[in-house]
Structure 1
Amino acid sequence: MCDDDDWDVPNNSTTTAGPKVGVISEGGCKFSAGRGFVPADRGDRFGGGDSWGDNNDNASKSNGRCTEDGGGDEWGEPSGTFSWQDNDGESNRGRGGGRGRGGRGGRGGRGGGRGGSRDDFENDEGGHRGGRGGGRGGRGGRRGDRDGEFGDNKVEGGGEETERKREYYVPPEVENVEDLFTSGISTGVNFMKLDEIEVNVTGNDPPTPITSFEMSGLRPHILDNIKRSGYTKPTAIQKYSIPVVLQGRDLMSCAQTGSGKTAAFMLPIIHDLLTNKNPPNTENNSAHPIVVIMSPTRELAIQIAEQGQKFAYNSTVKVAVIYGGTSTNHQRGKILGGCHILVATPGRLKDFVNRGCVSFSSLKYFVLDEADRMLDMGFLGEVEEMLSHQSMPATGERKTLMFSATFPEEIQELAGKFLHNYIFLAVGIVGSASTDVEQKFFQIGKYEKRTKLLSILEQAPDDRTLIFVETKRNADFLASFLSEQNIQSTSIHGDRYQSEREQALLDFKTGRRKVLVATGVAARGLDIKDVQHVINYDLPNSIDEYVHRIGRTGRVGNYGRATSFFDDEHDRNLAPALAKILSQASQEIPEWLGSYSHGGSANQFGGRDIRGDNFGRGQDFGAPPVDIEDSW
C-alpha cells in the first residue's frame, strides 16, 4: 500500500495545511529547510520573492496540494557541532530505520542484499545506495510502495521517531500543452557532428535506417508536431530505432545520454495508435492502456509523459502518468478517464496493478526506459513481476522496447527472457561521455570543497548550475549555505515532499533559482534546458553514474562544462575509469589523476550484444546515412 495512499479520500478533499519549516543551524546562522532555502529570520535577498509563500511567511503553497497538519521536513542527525532542528527546537533523526531505507522487515532482512549504506544516502525510488538490504532495513518496512516512500519508523538505538505526515498531493495540470514545444533543449552548434557517430546493429534482418523524419512514414500530424518541437532531423538513435518500432520488432537500444531516446520510441508508437485508432479501454473500474512505459524516477516519468503529450498534441491519443508521492485517488480518476499511453514508476504501477486498477489485457507496447537505472535501483523484481503478470500478453504477442545509456549483462539476460527476436542497437561508445562536455577535475579535501565551490560559482554567477552531492542531508545543507551567500539555490532529493520536488525543479527550469543541488534523483534522463555547468561536489561510486550526471549538460550538440571535486580519501577507486572517460572524450588527463590509474582497470561498460558477434546479421553501419543537403 502506498504511503500516500488516499484511495478512500474523496476527490474533493481540501485539506491544505502544509509541513512545518525545518531549521538548520551552524555557527550561529540558521537556514529554513524550504524549497528555496531562504535564511531564517531574514528578508529575501535573492530576487524574485521568497521561497515558500508570497508574504515571506514560509508557508507552503502548491497548486492542488493536500496535506495533513504538521509534518516538518526531517533531518538526519549530523556528527560534529552542527545542530539540525525542527521549528519546535527538537532534534530529529532521519527517516528510515537502521540501515537501508526501509524498516526492520525489508526485502534484505538483517544483512546482505544490494547496498547497505545508511539511509541518508540518496535512493529516490529505492536507489542504489540504500540497496536491497544491508544492516537492518532493506526495502520494505511498514508501508512503503518503493516510489520514494519509507517504511518502519524505528531509528538507530531502538527509539521511535516522529512519524512523517503524509501528503495528499495533486500535481497541477499542464495548463497549455503548446508551452511544451518551447521547453525542450535546442540543438547546438555541434549537432551535425552527431552524424559521425558509429552505429552497430545486431539481429535478424534489421530495417534500413531513415535519413529524415519525412522519409520515416510517420503520419503528417506527427510530422507537424515534430516541426513545432524544433526538430529538423533525427538523431542517430532515432534514425535506427524508429524503423524498428514501425516494423513491429522488439528492440534494445543503447546510446549516450542526451541522444533523443524518448522521441525514438514515442514517435512511432503514437503513429501506430493514430493509424489503428484504438480507443482507450476502461471496464470493470480498471484502465486497460495500450502502451505502458516504465521509468525509474518520478521526475523522468513526468518528463516522458510531457513528451508524449507534445507529440500527440491535437490528436485523440491520451497520455497519463502515475508515480509515488501523489494522491492515488486523483491518479486513479485520471487513468479511468481513459488513456492510451500510461507512464509509471515501478512501485506505483505495481500498486495499481495489484489493486486491479490497471490491467495489461489490451497492452500492445511495453517500454522500459533507463533499464540500467532500474538495475542499479533494485527494480528488476518489479519489472519481472509486471512482465510475468497474468494479464500481460505473452512474449512475442506484445512489442517490448528497452532503452538506456548502458546495457549490462543482467539487463541483457532479462531481455533474452522477455524480448522476442529483438534488434540490438548500440550508438557510439556505450557508456562514454559526450565530447561536447568540457571535463575538469580539482584534487581537493572535503573541508575545502565549500570555499572552492563559492569561487567557481562567483566566476559565472548567471550560469544555470546543477550540483550533485551523495547525501540528502548534504543537499539541503549545501543549498541553505549557498542561499546565505546570496546565491539563489534550491534542492531536490528523495526525502522531499513530491510537491516540493516538482516546485524545486520548476524553479530551476524557469531560472527563478540559478543553482539546483541534487542527489541521484535528478541524474538520469532529465532534459533541463540551458544547463551550462554540472558540478560533482561529491563524486559518485560508479562511473556510469558520473557519465549520466555530466550528461545533464552538453546535450544535442550544445557545449557544456563539468567540474568534479576529487577527494583522495574517497574517490581513488574511481580514478582509472575517470581517466578512461577523459581519454575516450579526447580530453587531457591531469597528471595526478593519471598516476592513480596506473596499474588499475577501468570499469567495463555494457554495450555488447551477449547473443554473440555472429548472431543474426550483425552490422557495423559506421556513421548514419546523411541527406545530401545535410552533408555540408
Structure 2
Amino acid sequence: MQFKHLGLSEAVLSALAAKGYTEATPIQEQSIPSLLEGRDLLGIAQTGTGKTAAFMAPSIDRLIASGNRAQPRGCRMLVLAPTRELASQIAESARNYSKGTKLSVMTCFGGTSVHKNKVDLARGVDILVATPGRLVDLIEQHYAILLGIEILVLDEADQMMDLGFIHALKRIVRELPTKRQTLFFSATMPKSIRDLATQFIRNPVEVKVTPEATTAERVEQRVTFVQQAEKQSLLTIALRDPAIERALIFTRTKHGADRVVKLLAGSGIASNAIHGNKSQPQRERALGEFKAGKVKVLIATDIAARGIDVSGVSHVFNFELPNVPDQYVHRIGRTARAGATGLAISYCAEDERPYLRDIEKLTRQKVTVVPLPESFLAESAKIKSSRSPMPVSRDEANGRNGRAMQHQRGPRANPTRREGQPHGDRRPAQGERRDGAPRSDAPRGDAPRNYARPKSKFHARPARPAGAGGARPR
C-alpha cells in the first residue's frame, strides 16, 4: 500500500517522497492508521523493517495537529533508545520526516556535552531522542521536565532490558503524565518484555510483522568450522573478495574488535572498530567513514552495533558467535535491508558449537556448513608470514618497559595487598571486574545505575562520645 492511502499529511508525504519512500512496509501499513487515531501500540518487529518511519511519521502529524508548544526544559515527544548510534539514527530520521515543519529535534546521550544538552533543553524541544542513562542524569539535576510529553516511544525494548536499563526506565516513567500515547517496540517478546510493556501501555494495538525470533528470509546463512587461532587468516582471505561492498564484522569483546582491526591492518586491509571504549567522536567518525564507503570494513560489538542502519552492507561476519542466540538475529539483520539480499558468514570454533546449536534452535533452521578452502593452510601460512607487526600503543609500550625494569630490579612488594591476601593476586585486567566477571560493553556515559541503592551506614560520620564537647585535640 502507498503512504498516501494511510492518512498522512501532505507535509509528511512530501518528506517521505524526498527520501524515495512511496510504498509502505507491512509494519508501516499496520501501524500508521492506528497511531493517527492516538492508540497505544505494541510492535514486534526486527531491525530493518521500517519501524522508525512507522512511529515517527504519524507522530509528527499528531504533534502538528495538537498545536501545543514545548515548555522550557521539556519536550512533547520522547523516544528512548538503548545506544547512542540508534538514538542518532532515529533523530536523523525525525529531522528528515519533519522537513517543512517547525518541529525541533534534539538528541541526548552519553559521550556528548552535558552543558549543551542543558542549554538545548532549556528552551524546550518538540522531539527528544535520548538514552535512558543521560536522561535520568538531567532529570536528577532538574534540567529535564517530562510532564508535557504527548507521545512516548520505547524502541529496542529487549535490548534495553539486556543492558540493565530497567531501573532507569522505571525512574523515567514516574516523571511522565498519565495521559499520553505510548508506543512500545521490541524485536522479541518473551514474558519479561511483555510484563515490562504492561507498565507503559494501555489497551494497545498489537502489530507483529515477523514470526518471533526468526531471521530475515533474504539473508543467506553459512558457517565454517575453524580453530580459533585460524579465524583471522580465514577472515583476511574472505575480505579480499571484490564482491564485498561493505562488511560488518562482529566480535564478542571490545579487545577482540581492536585486535581484529590491527591484524587486518597488518595484512593491508583498512577497517575501523566501534565499541563502548571508543569516544563519541571516534564512534561517529568510524560510522561516517563506513557509511560514506571510505572504509568498507567495520568491526563492532553487539551493543555498539545497535542503530547501525547502513544501506549496502553485503556481508555480515560473525568472527565470534554470540553466547546469547537473540544477538545472532540482530547481527544478521544488519544486511538484507530495504529489500536487498545479504550473506551472513559465521566462524565457529570447537567451544562455540553449543552457541550454534542454540542459534539453530531459536531460528528453527539449520545453518549451511561450508568447509575450509582446500588451499587454506598454505594461504594461512603465507598471510601470517607476510603480515606486518601489530602496532604498539604508547600505553602498551609503557607497560612493557615497566615490566622489563621490574624484572631487572627483581620482585617488589605489592603496597596495595591487604593482610592475608595471597601474593599471586593481581589487579583486574581491562574488561574485568575484581571478581573476574566481564564488564558490560554498555557505553560509560549511558550506563544504567541502581537508583534505589541505599547509602551504607559506614558512610555516616561516627557519633562523638558523650561529654566530648569543647575543642578538638591538636
TM-score normalised by structure 2 residue count:
0.76
Task: Provide the rounded CA distance (Å) in 2 between the counterparts of 1:452 and 1:521.
Answer: 25
1:162-241 to 2 correspondences below 5 Å: 211-241=1-31
Question: Partner residue of 2:64?
Answer: 274
Query: Which structure features the higher share of helix residues?
Result: 2
What secondary structure, in the 3-state scheme, does the structure 2 residue paired with 1:513 have?
A: coil
List per-residue Cα deviations over 1:433-479 (Å, max 9, x = no partner): 11111111001111110111111111237521110001111111111
CA contact 2:45–2:210 (8 Å) conserved in 1? yes
Question: Partner residue of 1:322?
Answer: 108
CA contact 1:325–1:497 (8 Å) conserved in 2? yes
Shift of 1:524: 2.5
Which amino acid is the alignment partner of residue 354 of structure 1? E
What secondary structure, in the 3-state scheme, does the structure 1 residue paired with 2:347 have?
A: strand
Task: Provide the rounded CA distance (Å) in 1 between the counterparts of 2:361 and 2:311.
Answer: 28
Shift of 1:358: 0.9
Which amino acid is the alignment partner of residue 307 of structure 1? S
List per-residue Cα deviations over 1:146-179 (Å, max 9, x = no partner): xxxxxxxxxxxxxxxxxxxxxxxxxxxxxxxxxx
Task: Provide the rounded CA distance (Å) in 2 between the counterparts of 1:412 and 1:576.
Answer: 22
Task: Provide the rounded CA distance (Å) in 2 between the counterparts of 1:525 and 1:511.
Answer: 18
Shift of 1:307: 0.4
What secondary structure, in the 3-state scheme, does the structure 1 residue paired with 2:184 have?
A: strand
Question: Partner residue of 1:393?
Answer: 177
Alignment: residue pair count: 371
Instruction: Say which of 489, 502, 511 aligns to 2:293.
Output: 511
Task: Provide the rounded CA distance (Å) in 2 between the counterparts of 1:356 and 1:291.
Answer: 18
Which amino acid is the alignment partner of residue 158 of structure 2? D
Question: Partner residue of 1:495?
Answer: 277
Question: Partner residue of 2:309?
Answer: 527
Task: Provide the rounded CA distance (Å) in 1 between the counterparts of 2:353 and 2:132.
Answer: 31
Instruction: Say which of 245, 268, 276 aligns to 1:486.
Output: 268
* CA RMSD, 1 decimal: 1.7
Task: Provide the rounded CA distance (Å) in 1 between the counterparts of 2:146 and 2:316.
Answer: 40
Task: Provide the rounded CA distance (Å) in 1 between the counterparts of 2:318 and 2:368.
Answer: 17
Task: Provide the rounded CA distance (Å) in 2 between the counterparts of 1:462 and 1:431.
Answer: 27
Task: Provide the rounded CA distance (Å) in 1 between the counterparts of 2:201 and 2:235.
Answer: 46
Question: Partner residue of 2:196?
Answer: 414
Question: Partner residue of 2:44?
Answer: 254
Shift of 1:579: 5.4
Based on CA coordinates, which of the two structures has the bigger radius of gyration? 2
Task: Provide the rounded CA distance (Å) in 2 between the counterparts of 1:574 and 1:581.
Answer: 11
- Runs of 4+ that moved beyond 6 A: none
* Distance change >3 Å, CA 492–CA 401, structure 1 → 2: same
Shift of 1:259: 0.2
CA contact 1:267–1:311 (8 Å) conserved in 2? yes
Which amino acid is the alignment partner of residue 362 of structure 1? G
CA contact 1:292–1:367 (8 Å) conserved in 2? yes
Q: Does 1:300 align with 2:86?
A: yes
* Distance change >3 Å, CA 343–CA 216, structure 1 → 2: same
Shift of 1:588: 5.9
Question: Partner residue of 2:399?
Answer: none
Task: Provide the rounded CA distance (Å) in 2 between the counterparts of 1:530 and 1:577.
Answer: 25
Question: Partner residue of 1:458?
Answer: 240
Instruction: Say which of 340, 363, 371 aligns to 1:581.
Output: 363
Task: Provide the rounded CA distance (Å) in 2 between the counterparts of 1:462 and 1:541.
Answer: 27
Shift of 1:417: 2.3
What secondary structure, in the 3-state scheme, does the structure 2 residue paired with 1:420 have?
A: coil
Q: Does 1:543 align with 2:325?
A: yes
Task: Provide the rounded CA distance (Å) in 2 between the counterparts of 1:590 and 1:515.
Answer: 24
Instruction: Say which of 472, 475, 487 aligns to 2:254.
Output: 472
CA contact 2:325–2:362 (8 Å) conserved in 1? no
Task: Provide the rounded CA distance (Å) in 2 between the counterparts of 1:513 and 1:255.
Answer: 30
CA contact 1:492–1:521 (8 Å) conserved in 2? no
Question: Partner residue of 1:264?
Answer: 54
CA contact 1:582–1:589 (8 Å) conserved in 2? no
Question: Partner residue of 1:371?
Answer: 157
List per-residue Cα deviations over 1:326-348 (Å, max 9, x = no partner): 11011222222331010000100
List per-residue Cα deviations over 1:607-627 (Å, max 9, x = no partner): xxxxxxxxxxxxxxxxxxxxx
Which amino acid is the alignment partner of residue 274 of structure 2? I
Question: Partner residue of 2:217?
Answer: 435
Task: Provide the rounded CA distance (Å) in 2 between the counterparts of 1:417 and 1:323.
Answer: 24
Which amino acid is the alignment partner of residue 388 of structure 1? R
Identity %: 39
Task: Provide the rounded CA distance (Å) in 2 between the counterparts of 1:582 and 1:515.
Answer: 30
Shift of 1:368: 0.3
- Unaligned 5+ segments in structure 1 are 1-210, 593-632
What secondary structure, in the 3-state scheme, does the structure 2 residue paired with 1:534 have?
A: strand
Q: Does 1:552 align with 2:334?
A: yes
List per-residue Cα deviations over 1:497-551 (Å, max 9, x = no partner): 1111111111111111111111113332421121111100011111210010010
